[in-house]
Amino acid sequence: MNTENIEAKVIEFIASKVEDVDASSITAASEFEALGLDSMDRVQLLFDAEETFGVTFEDDEVKDFHCVKDIIDYINNHQPSSSSSEND
Contacts of the segment 1-7: beta carbons below 8 A, 24+ positions apart: 1/79, 1/82, 1/87, 1/88, 2/85, 2/88, 3/72, 3/76, 5/88, 6/53, 6/72, 6/75, 6/76, 6/79, 7/72
Where residue 56 sits, what CATH number does that domain have?
A: 1.10.1200.10
* pLDDT tens by residue, 37-53: 999 999 999 999 999 99
Report if residue 57 sits inside a domain.
yes
Report if residue 88 sits inside a domain.
no
Report if residue 54 sits inside a domain.
yes
| Band of residue 81 on the pLDDT scale cut at 50, 70, 90 | low
Report if residue 27 sits inside a domain.
yes
* pLDDT tens by residue, 47-75: 999 999 999 999 898 989 999 999 999 99
Query: Residue 24 sits in which domain range?
Result: 3-77
* Average pLDDT, rounded, for the chain: 88
Report if residue 85 sits inside a domain.
no
